[in-house]
Amino acid sequence: MKKKILIIRFSSFGDIVQAMSVLRPLKTRSTDSEIHWLTRSEFSNLVTLSPYVDRVISFDKKSGLLGLIKLGFQLRSEGYELIYDAHRNTRSAILRWIFLGIHIVSRPKSRWKRILLFTFRINKFPWPFRGMKSYLEPLRLPDSELHQQWSFSSEVTTKVDQLVGENFVCLAPSAAWEMKRWPLSHWKELINLKSETRFVVLGGPADTFCEELVQVAPERVSNLAGKLSLIESCYAVSKANALVSADTGLIHVADILGVKGLSLVGPTAFGFPTNSNIETLEVDLPCRPCSKDGRGGCSQEVWQKCMVDIRPEAVSSKI
């Protein structure tokens, strides 16, 4: 009988992608293992893309506490030899209680280090903080061979291939929080500077500002913001010559797939990519980092100075 391993990471997009870095080295170390992954239902298709996952278990958060407890006892009967709690939130704590007696490894939240960093400006984290490595370390996995080939359905590949073609650079100008967005004027200038490059813009339905980028060079810029699903956007990144992005989930997709990328990092502390195919552009300011995820205000006279001072010329020279 194969050894069964359960990984728990419910959300979010970027965190799940970084956590997926454990899959290949874990499978290499335990070749006879069967790896299961528990995540929220809206991210199950994402985890399924990896060839190193044998089973994806979906949790519908609408099922509430009772649904979680019921699922926990069902999973307990699977006979897992190892459970990796890569989330450490309230839900995973409930599951750890249900799984008492099973070998459980947890990724630390390091809350006291976060308090020191964001309240007292004392940084006790490894710097720069590489998210993928933080998921590997609790399992004592090596930080080599992290790249993966994801398996996309023919429906996804056919649709995206027709829309994007070949030889293009992906731009991801949006972010969940405005503080970590590169200024729109800088994106426009980048498009002007790379006058021979075709760009594909990725984003969500709410990112209507992306249409302004098309107006810079309609013949070279395709706006697919809100027109692709999460999985389709991942496939577009996999086809791109390069990706330019702030601290978003898509830069971690490029990171794990081995796609060349430029990561524009400003206020956030935990968004640094891991692999050599991604280059990070940042500005050295004493106020950085000031936020876990981009929430909060800016202490500088020039609002969002850490992003404003990443010049389009510097980005253009790297593409």
The whole-number average pLDDT for the span 72-97 is 98
pLDDT value of residue 272: 86
Say how many domains are in the chain: 2
**Shared-domain flag, residues 190 and 282:** yes
Higher pLDDT, 317 or 1: 317
pLDDT of 270 strictly over 90: no
Of 139, 164, 198, the residue that ends a domain is: 139
pLDDT value of residue 211: 97
Q: What is the pLDDT of residues 207-236, one digit of tens each?
A: 999 999 999 999 999 999 999 999 999 999
Give one DSSP letter per residue of 81-142, joined into a string.
Answer: SEEEESS-SHHHHHHHHHTTTS-EEE----HHHHHHHHHH----S-SS-BHHHHHHGGGT--
Which one, of 257, 256, 211, 204, lies nearest residue 230 by Cα?
204
pLDDT value of residue 168: 99
Give the C-alpha separation, 235 to 254, whole Å: 10
Q: What is the CATH number of the domain that holds 226?
A: 3.40.50.2000
Is 146 within the bounds of a domain? Answer: no
pLDDT value of residue 147: 95
Residues forming beta bridges with residue 85, ordered by sequence position: 8, 106
Which structural domain, as residue segments, surrounds residue 230?
156-316
pLDDT of 266 strictly over 90: no
Higher pLDDT, 266 or 257: 257
Q: What is the pLDDT of residues 276-304, one digit of tens each?
A: 999 999 998 888 887 777 677 877 776 78
pLDDT of 76 strictly over 80: yes
Per the prediction, the chain carries an average pLDDT of 94
Q: Is the pTM of this model over 0.85?
A: yes
**Shared-domain flag, residues 228 and 114:** no
Higher pLDDT, 169 or 265: 169
The whole-number average pLDDT for the span 105-134 is 86
pLDDT of 264 strictly over 80: yes
**Shared-domain flag, residues 163 and 135:** no
pLDDT value of residue 4: 98
